[in-house]
Amino acid sequence: MSLGERLDQELQRQGKTQVALAEAVGVSPATVSQWRAGSKKPSVANVIKIGEWLSISPAWLQFGDDPAPSRPVNEKDRAAYQRDCIWYYRSAPNDQGRELGSAAGFVFEGGIPTLARETGQNILDERKDGEPAVRATYTVMELSGPQLDSFLATIKFDEVRHHLEAASQSRQKVATVIRKGLETLDADQRLVLLKIEDFGANGLVGPEYDNGRYMAVVRNILDSFKDENAGGSYGLGKSVMWACSQFGLVLINSTLSVSQDGRREGRFIARMELPWHRLDKDYAGPAWYGEWDPEKECTRSYWGNPALAADALLDRPDGQSGTSFLIVGAYDPSGESTTVEEMHDSLCRALADNFWPAMTEPGEGEQAPMVALVRSERNGRILREDVVDPAAYHPAKVAMLRVHFDELTVDTLEAPGDVVRRSIPLNLPRRTAEGAHDHLQHEAVLLVAEADEESAEINRVAYTRGSQMIIREVPVRPLSMGSRPFHAVVLAGLGAGAEPADRAAERFLRAAEPPEHNHWVVTPDLSRSYSIGYHKALSDFYAEVGKTIREIVGRPNRDLSDGPDALKELLRITPPSEATTRRLRVKTAMGNLDDEGRWIVEATVTLPPRKEPWRFSPTIRFGTETGSGISVMWESLTGLSCCAADGDVIVAETGARSVRFRAVTDASTHPVNARWARVLVDVRVYKGSTS
């Protein structure tokens, strides 16, 4: 049953009209009709409003499935897993080397917010090809009484406890965490679990003992097995799940997007990360719970047992590919969240803070790439559930992004709600590693909107790329006196477009991220893969972002001594002209130098719809430390797609929404050697082209 069908069912069941619903939500009856028909989908914010008005769960309306599908357990299946599944504990090496904890788990600072960021990034990366969106569900669960006893019996905790107690005997940090976890379990007779699930994702595909997603998560350390456009690349993010377990224990159940050895559903395995410990003999630390493999003498995946999935609290809806992780003994290493309710709130906030671009719908009726649900339960009873609405946490930033998606940006900040869009050049150095390319210019997108002075987190700029996760957010300093308060975001790499230069920038920026993926800096991967110039490329990029923001938000020096001008400045009653609301944009610009020192540029320009053909002059400027740059003349212009060159003017075909052209600079007009220049391509609308 689709969202539209569930909405239609509830309206009929409650005897309510779509006109009344439209009035309650603040949309037209025609829009509600489209929701019911399934031709459009309501935004997350509207789903929440609908749920409140109909007194139904927004999560049920959005996703349809119950939080924990109730299915009768076949006792034969239960007996089978109790017989077949065992723990395998890796023996210590003969050289007596000891690992007293996984170093990967100590790379990241923070607790639950870091967990949400890292797992959310992995979920976005794992979205299945062809899926419009991936759904992330976080469920904080507290067990006590019979429910706790049943769960502990499922994972054979009495056996595991001997190893936990042995591992807790040292003075190492990990041992202290284990010891406290056991003490809390004994004293409170309750256990906190955190289930992290994705739907519409790839699942843990891959062979049992060879390269693939399964091995990268279950057996290997520092293995990400991701493509070049993914958010993560070090294979460290997954370690945060084990770091947030007091017992270093995570259970896994996966439904695969493609079959592995003829099987797709119910791939179960558990991994426990303990330090070296001594019991009946010396153990290395890691352990796995699954089916015994007599040939390899270890445990492997246990497939297709619905009783095990239900008893381990990892039951999944039939057919929905993706993976469920259950963190046993979940806690916040930072100590900031100590209750189920606090963990719930922390997850909601962290998901909104880090993924508001990914959770913003790109257009009316369209799905955002990521939808997130946070739920908390106590012994199976739902305490609270929230579909994360990014606009509830960052309304101005989400509104700014939607203006960009709707192509309603303007040239200057004149009225409330205005969003200015600028192109920021990122000059990519020559790539020497796989996928080599010469020098390229990428045009990132900068969006700036005026903020309410009382808003939180003003005068900051956020950076994101194709992963749609916020990489970093930093204050812009210095600002001149009288500057407007603002919000700003930079969309770089595949976040700005899908042209070759955008893909090249995506690869460059991914290589520039440290393990925390919270900055673009010089990294070993960057220095290995690119020729000299990567440091300057990044520093120039950041400098250009700051300079452009200061130009946009700075107020002009004007004599406001007379009343009318002062009132005009305060009220800003002059509406933006049509030209500012319907502007041409340079979508991509790629360039390289020829042997004669000329820049050869290929650019794509997007055009707003209009009846008359667009006519414009491309411009190129050599950047300077201050000011808008020095203009350079073209030697030649050539139309490549949907346009023709008429002297120094590009004439678009009637009805064209984008054009592509090639331009070559006149080297005699270069103010400096082109090899050392930072260039910016823009367009100037020809006078005869305005309507």
Q: How does pLDDT run across 132-163, given as a tens digit for each residue?
A: 789 999 999 999 999 999 999 999 999 999 99
226 falls within a domain: no
Is the model's pLDDT at 86 over the cut of 80?
Answer: yes
115 falls within a domain: yes
Distance CA 114, CA 238 (A): 11
Distance CA 249, CA 194 (A): 11
Looking at the structure, do residues 447 and 400 belong to the same domain, yes or no?
yes
Q: Cβ(505)–Cβ(426) under 8 Å?
A: yes
Each residue's pLDDT tens digit, 369-395: 999 999 999 999 999 999 999 999 999
Strand 134-144 to strand 370-378: parallel, antiparallel, or no bridges (unpaired)? parallel
Looking at the structure, do residues 112 and 46 belong to the same domain, yes or no?
no
Boundary of a domain, candidates 577, 608, 639: 577
Q: Which DSSP symbol is given to 429? A: P
526 falls within a domain: yes
Looking at the structure, do residues 543 and 591 belong to the same domain, yes or no?
no
Helix (H, G, I), strand (E, B) or coil at 27: coil
Nearest to 29 by CA among 20, 41, 38: 20
Range of lowest pLDDT (65-74, 115-124, 551-560, 626-635): 65-74
Each residue's pLDDT tens digit, 624-651: 443 445 778 888 999 998 999 988 889 9
> CB-based contacts of 557: which residues, under 8 Å, 6+ apart?
none
Amino acid making up residue 415: A
DSSP labels, 462-523 = EEE-TT-SEEEEEE-----TTPPPEEEEEE-GGGT--SHHHHHHHHHHHHT--TT-------
307 phi, psi to nearest 5 deg? -65, -40
The domain total for the chain is 4
217 falls within a domain: no
In the block, residue with structure tokens 């993706």: 322
Looking at the structure, do residues 542 and 599 belong to the same domain, yes or no?
no
Boundary of a domain, candidates 12, 39, 64: 64
Per the structure block, which two tokens stand in for 239? Answer: 């370690």
Looking at the structure, do residues 108 and 155 belong to the same domain, yes or no?
yes
Burial 640-658 (b: 16+ CB within 10 A, else e): eebbbbeeebbbbeeebeb
Looking at the structure, do residues 421 and 448 belong to the same domain, yes or no?
yes
pLDDT value of residue 686: 56
250 falls within a domain: yes
Each residue's pLDDT tens digit, 306-343: 999 999 999 988 778 999 999 999 999 988 898 999 99
Mean pLDDT on 486-505: 96
Q: Cβ(369)–Cβ(361) under 8 Å?
A: no
Looking at the structure, do residues 537 and 591 belong to the same domain, yes or no?
no
User: What range defines the domain where residue 305 resides?
Assistant: 75-211+237-359+371-387
pLDDT value of residue 68: 46
Better pLDDT: 670 or 625: 670
232 falls within a domain: no
224 falls within a domain: no
490 falls within a domain: yes
Mean pLDDT of the chain: 85
Task: Provide the CB-side half-sphere exposure for 336 (13 A, CA).
Answer: 12
593 phi, psi to nearest 5 deg? -95, 140
Q: pTM here?
A: 0.76
Looking at the structure, do residues 442 and 467 belong to the same domain, yes or no?
yes
List, in sequence order, every residue forming a beta bridge with 619; answer none if it has no partner. 682
Looking at the structure, do residues 184 and 326 belong to the same domain, yes or no?
yes
Looking at the structure, do residues 482 and 347 belong to the same domain, yes or no?
no
Looking at the structure, do residues 133 and 272 belong to the same domain, yes or no?
yes
Kindly state the helix (H) or strand (E) to which residue 128 belongs, with its residue range: none
Burial 88-126 (b: 16+ CB within 10 A, else e): bbeebeeeeeeebbbebbebbebbbbbbbbbbbbbbbbb
Looking at the structure, do residues 139 and 288 belong to the same domain, yes or no?
yes
